[in-house]
Structure 1
Amino acid sequence: MINSAVIKPNPLVDNFIELYQALNKNNLHLLGQVYGDDIIFTDPMHQISGLESLTQYFAKLYENVQHIQFEIKEVQQSDSQASLFWQMQYRHPKLNKGQLIRVDGMSQLKFNDKIYFHRDYFDLGQMLYEQVPCVGGLIRLLKTRAAK
């Protein structure tokens, strides 16, 4: 028999979404509103342990970003975890000639009273490598050839 109990949306997930839609290099101190002190954060580039280290990591990432925005496409959640499907749009002066870059991704969150585990899944080539002069052209060529 299928359990048809309705899961009530967790306000922590809503707070997380609101925070990320407003997050920038000047308000990183707000991360503690949704993340626990013992947060484990993983993305294709790094694994970070602890809120202080995560805040420092984001400070470096956001340092030269001229614009960043997250559009949440879909949210699936239970009482202790959530999956968010999103598109990030950002602009960095040294990538893609300063033009807007779009990256599709997904975040897995695990939480109790705060988020203690956050893992991001996205194509690092789409986010970074394809945006670098010379390297980007080579990556796109390889993807095209692999698709044939």
Structure 2
Amino acid sequence: MSPSDTATKDPASLGQRWSRALETLFREREPALPAFLSLYDEHIQFQDPLHRVSGVAAYAELNRRFLARARRLEISVEDVAEQDGLVFASWRMCFAPRIGPELTLEGVSHLRTREGRIVHQRDHFDIAGGVASAVPGLSSLYRAVLSRAT
């Protein structure tokens, strides 16, 4: 049975399958990519604060580059809510690039689905806060700037 057959026959909800596949992808990396991508429509639209790509091939390449750049990578999906073709998932990610400090990011993924596949994904996270938390002394300055701005 191919990864895509497994993904469509799994009785769990799409959000639950996505959550498990994402955690597996971060743990096993490249070998888990086909099963993860099987959840996506070939015309997926993906966007986060750093990237915007269209199509499953471009999304696959974005993930390959991300996985290759990590010396350590962990994600924990905290909550998943689903209704009427929408999935919202909160997560916490630890990413240690090959060079540089480890970043911890908390974020939310907003998925739109159609016919059992993800057709749009928008990830929201505070990259500046993650970078600031990795540099001693910078996080307190970052929080002070934010508190004055709000």
Regarding TM over 0.5, the answer is yes
Contact 1:84 1:107 in 2 (8 A): yes
Give the structure 2 partner of residue 44 of structure 1: 49
**Residues 142 and 47 from structure 1, CA distance in 2 versus in 1: closer, same or farther, beyond 3 angstroms?**
same
Give the structure 2 partner of residue 106 of structure 1: 108
Give yes or no for the alignment of 1:57 onto 2:56: no
For structure 2, list consecutive stretches of 5 or more residues without a partner in the other structure.
1-10
**Percent of counterpart pairs with the same letter?**
20
Q: Which residue identity does 1:52 align to in structure 2?
A: A
Rounded to whole Å, the distance in 2 between the matches of 1:10 and 1:110 is 17
Rounded to whole Å, the distance in 1 between the matches of 2:143 and 2:64 is 32
Q: CA deviation at 1:139?
A: 6.9
Q: Which residue identity does 2:45 align to in structure 1?
A: I
Secondary structure in structure 2 of the residue aligned to 1:86: strand
Between Structure 1 and Structure 2, the one with more helix by share is: 2
Rounded to whole Å, the distance in 2 between the matches of 1:137 and 1:106 is 26
Q: CA deviation at 1:131?
A: 6.6
**Residues 53 and 142 from structure 1, CA distance in 2 versus in 1: closer, same or farther, beyond 3 angstroms?**
same
Q: Report the TM-score, using the length of structure 2 for normalisation.
A: 0.77
Q: CA deviation at 1:140?
A: 5.1
Q: CA deviation at 1:48?
A: 0.7
Greater Rg by CA: 1
Contact 2:77 2:90 in 1 (8 A): yes
For structure 1, list consecutive stretches of 5 or more residues without a partner in the other structure.
1-8
Give the structure 1 partner of residue 94 of structure 2: 89
Q: CA deviation at 1:42?
A: 0.4
Q: CA deviation at 1:91?
A: 1.9
Give the structure 2 partner of residue 119 of structure 1: 122
Give yes or no for the alignment of 1:27 onto 2:27: no
- Any runs of at least 4 consecutive aligned residues in structure 1 with deviations exceeding 3 A, and if so which? 136-140
Rounded to whole Å, the distance in 1 between the matches of 2:98 and 2:50 is 20
Rounded to whole Å, the distance in 2 between the matches of 1:11 and 1:146 is 38
Rounded to whole Å, the distance in 1 between the matches of 2:127 and 2:134 is 12
Contact 1:95 1:131 in 2 (8 A): no
Secondary structure in structure 1 of the residue aligned to 2:70: coil
Q: Which residue identity does 1:19 align to in structure 2?
A: A
Contact 2:23 2:77 in 1 (8 A): no
